[in-house]
Structures are given as C-alpha cells and as structure tokens.
Amino acid sequence: MKKSLIIICLLLGLSFAIAEFFQDKSIDSDTDATTNQKLFRVAILTPVTHPSLEQIQQGFCETLTHNGIDRYQFTVYNAQGSQTLMRSELEEMSSKRYDLIFAIGTQAAKMSKEVLTKKHQTTPLVFAAVPNPEEHHLVQSESTPNGFVTGISEITDYSKQMDLLAHLKPDLKSVLLVYDPTNAGLDRDRIIVENKLSTMGIRLIPIEVFKTNEIKQKVSPFIHEVDVVMTLKDNTVVAGLETLVKLCHTTQTLLMASDLDSPLKGAAIGFGVKEYDFGVEAAKKARLILHDGLSPHQIPVTAVDQFKLKFNTLSMAQQGLPLDPFLHYLIENGEGI
C-alpha cells in the first residue's frame, strides 16, 4: 500500500514538473508558434462612435494586417463622448503595456500623451486626424517630432471649398455655420471661413451648439435668413446631422459639409478627404515602429491632402439646387480622376 502511495506521489510530482516545464518554455506571448510571426498588441482609442472615425480605424487595421508579415491583436477603446471614460480607459491601457497606441482625433491624442507622460511611459503613440499637432503640444515639430509621438495631421482647404460653393451658387450672400466651439480647433476654423467669405462679400452667421439636441432650437430662428448651412469636421454637429438635413429640406436651404460622409446622410455637398486614408497612412507609421524598429521621433508627421467633392443629387434638388440634366447624368454615371 505504501509503495502504491509512493508511486502515485512520484507520478503526480512528475506531472506537475512537466506541466511547469512546458509552461515556462511555452511560446512567448509575442510570438506565434505555428508561423513564427511576431504578435504585436495594439490599443486603439476613439472618442466616440462615428462613421468617419470607424473608417479611420478600418483603414488602420486593414493596412497593418494586409502584408501578413506580422500578427496584430487590436483592442478598441471607445470613450463614448466622455472624457472621464477616456481617461479611465487610458489608465487601463497604460497598465497593460501595449506595444503601440493608436489615437484617433485631437482629444484622444492629447489625453493619451498626457497620461503616458505622467506615468513616465514611452509606449509609441501614433495619432490620426489631428489639426496643428504642434499647437496641441503633441510634437515639437512635424518634421522632427522629438519624443514617443508621431502621426497624421489633418489639414483643411476652406479657401478652395468656399470658391467651389460660390461657383455652385453664384447668388450666395450669406452662410450659416453650425459648430461646437469646444471641439479642438473649430474656433480657428470658423475664423478662417469667416475671413475667406468676407473677401468674397459673403456674410457668415456662426451658431454655437454644445450638444446635439440644441441644433434644432438654435438653428431654426436663423435658417430662413441664409442661402447655405455649413458644417465643419465636428463630432457634435455631425452626430445630429439628421436634424439639419430635415431643416434644410423643409426650407430648401443648401447644406454643405466639410467631410465626404455627410452627403450619404443627406447633406447636398461634401468637401474633404477620405477618412480611410488617415488610417492607411497611420498604419504605415505604426509598421515602421513595430516591424522596422524605428522610434517615433525618427518618423515625421505627414498629412492627408487629397481633397474631393461629393454630391447627393437628391438632396441638392430638395435643398433648392437642382442639377442641370446633363451634369446630373455625368455625376451619376461618370468617374472622376
């Protein structure tokens, strides 16, 4: 009986030893045993659920995984419009020690750098769709970032956008600009638009909204006084675009957006860049860091600058700007180059 117990104990001890051996010698968490590919853990921080931001995220993930050289594990953090939640999520990210953080938009990028800096962490941080990253103290300069941060800046061309608008609507006399001044950089954009329109003899009426549910109440008293309603790249206003579309349809007032997604929701015209491209370009920088071993400070900040014009022909007709039949045919059946 004693011999049996001794044998059982020896066998149990051996099994634990074998298990411990294989646990210690198991594949490193950063390597795939079957393919010998490096596995990179990437955190993605987005400020809110929005089609444009989702396109950026999609472009980033698809570009990184396209070549098949490395493997990536993406964890998406969505702040749902809450700065408190965003900070909490960043605290979690810092504790999990990701290989790289991808921050979409100014707020996400600024808070990411702030939290990492306070914790004396230098996790590579790549941002996308951030206007004037130097002014937001994300990088020392766009050509030499000097730190653990680099990314893709967002530029605008309101001068060209206003010229196109005036060409489409030659009798243009006044524009109603609906925007949330608490969104980073939008007050600056409002000034640029106002100055450009002033040189064209066109009056700008700015309407500040701080929540989506304020749009109807604040816009309704002024919409009959203007020829065009304009939006910027503004998460607050774009989230309530349906309200603006209804008002513009009812009053036959043209709605022009500063992005290419809003025409799909009812804006008559959109002017901007493809959001997907922000993700593509950001992924290229992430790959230089993770696969090629470069430091973010060695990678200059660059911009997406391929602006396009998009029409919603049904909305144009409902908002008082029907197209010439031949031009309508070209837009519906042609492809621009």
Q: What percent of the chain has pLDDT over 90?
A: 75
27-39 burial by CB neighbour count: b if 16+ within 10 A, else e? eeeeeeeeeeebb
pLDDT at 142: 96
Type of residue found at 19: A
CB atoms within 10 A of CB 57: 24
CB atoms within 10 A of CB 123: 18
pLDDT score of 35: 57
Rounded-to-integer distance, Cα 211 and Cα 237, Å: 8
Beta strands in the chain (DSSP E): 39-46, 71-78, 100-104, 125-130, 149-154, 174-179, 203-208, 228-231, 254-257, 269-272, 302-304, 308-311
Interval 14-70: pLDDT, tens:
344 433 433 333 333 355 555 567 899 999 999 988 888 999 999 999 999 987 778
Give mean pLDDT, residues 292-301: 96
d(CA 237, CA 215): 8
d(CA 284, CA 60): 8
Looking at residue 18, its pLDDT comes to 36
Q: Which pLDDT value is given to residue 81?
A: 84
Domains of the chain by range and CATH? 39-155+275-303 (3.40.50.2300), 158-272+307-333 (3.40.50.2300)
Averaged pLDDT for residues 147-152: 97
Mean of per-residue pLDDT scores for the chain: 87
Is this model's pTM higher than 0.75 or not? yes
Please tell me the number of Cα atoms within 13 Å of 138 on its side-chain side: 32
Q: Structure tokens of 119?
A: 């914790």
Mean pLDDT on 289-312: 95
pLDDT of 1 reads 45
